[in-house]
Amino acid sequence: MSAESANYAQELPDISAPPLRLLLREARIFPEMGRYYFRGMDLERLPKGGGQPIMIVPGFGASDWGTRPLRRALNELGFAAHGWGQGYNWGMRPGMREALAARVEALQTRHGRKVALLGWSLGGVFVREMARHAPSQVSMVFTLGSPINGHPNANNVAKLFNLMNPGKKVDADLEGFRKRRVPPPVPCVAVHSKTDGIVAWQCAREMAAPNTENVEVQGSHFGYVSNPQVLAVVARRLASVD
């Protein structure tokens, strides 16, 4: 670690990963999914879309199958929700940046308007960077429980990775994290839950700025994409996009 990185590490806020009790409460995903399958996503009081396109990027270890509940609900409301089309999200890999940029461009061409981007957990890190590099193609950004601020180690993802990969050490990219904390130059809505057992809620909030908004919901980290409160946040803001 460089001297500059070491100094930056000392300046980071003292935020810990969610405690074990919250990590264990992630088992709520089972009753949350049961609620979704039996009751749906409460669409009745939500605004109708006018075909506004939105691309949804899954979290670490998830795929488009995992984001299907949110995409399906948005499509039923009249928005045009699309998956990312890159299979499972195991992190950035060669060619992915170019593939995602091409997909956003294709969706913009198809719909004739800017594309909203939504990222769940690690997916939120991806969509913020996509918007940073191509703001003229992006209408707004949503992040769901994404580690975008605070401290790069204030999550339980590294612990889970270490359990599955003994002998391998995960080193935080402090310089990259410092640059990524700054929001991209488009409207950004950061959704977080104070009972998130994977990412510390303080780290899932955007910096205060004219183009940022932080919204708290109730629920688990794994349940963001089937959470009716999340759907309401996204639908109401997406409906205001021309």
Tell me: pLDDT of 4 over 60: no
Counting every residue written for the chain, the total comes to: 242
What one-character DSSP code corresponds to residue 210?
Answer: T
pLDDT of residue 138: 98
Would you call 184 helix, strand, or coil by DSSP?
A: coil
Average pLDDT estimate for 24-31 = 95
Tell me: pLDDT of 10 over 80: no
Residue 71 belongs to some domain of the structure: yes
HEC letters along 111-147: HCCCEEEEEECHHHHHHHHHHHHCHHHEEEEEEECCC
Would you call 76 helix, strand, or coil by DSSP?
A: helix
Residue 122 belongs to some domain of the structure: yes
Tell me: pLDDT of 26 over 90: yes
The side-by-side arrangement of strands in the sheet containing 138-144 is 80-82, 53-57, 115-120, 138-144, 188-192, 212-216
- pLDDT, tens only, 90-138: 888 899 999 999 999 999 999 999 999 999 999 999 999 999 999 999 9
Residue 202's Cβ-count burial label (10 Å; 0-12, 13-18, 19+) is middle
Specify the number of domains making up the chain.
1
- Domain, as residue range, for 130: 50-238
Residue percentage of the chain with pLDDT more than 70: 90
Average pLDDT, the chain: 91
- pLDDT, tens only, 165-214: 565 555 567 777 888 889 999 999 999 999 999 999 999 999 999 999 99
Residue 21 belongs to some domain of the structure: no
Strand runs (DSSP E) across 58-211, as ranges?
80-82, 115-120, 138-144, 188-192
Query: In 154-214, which residue ranges form alpha helices assigned H by DSSP?
Result: 157-164, 174-181
8 band by pLDDT with thresholds 50, 70 and 90: low
Residue 102 belongs to some domain of the structure: yes
CATH number of residue 152's parent domain: 3.40.50.1820
Tell me: pLDDT of 35 over 80: yes
Tell me: pLDDT of 73 over 70: yes
The dihedral of CA 146, 149, 152, 155: what is its sign?
A: negative
Residue 130 belongs to some domain of the structure: yes
pLDDT of residue 3: 54
Name the more confident of 150 and 201: 201
Residue 107 belongs to some domain of the structure: yes
- pLDDT, tens only, 50-67: 999 999 999 999 999 999
Q: What is the residue type of 64?
A: D
pLDDT of residue 1: 52
In the block, residue with structure tokens 């409207």:
187
Residue 212 belongs to some domain of the structure: yes
Would you call 54 helix, strand, or coil by DSSP?
A: strand
Q: How far is CA 132 from CA 53, 108, 126, 180, in A?
A: 18, 16, 10, 9
In the block, residue with structure tokens 């039996």:
38
Residue 134 belongs to some domain of the structure: yes
pLDDT of residue 91: 86
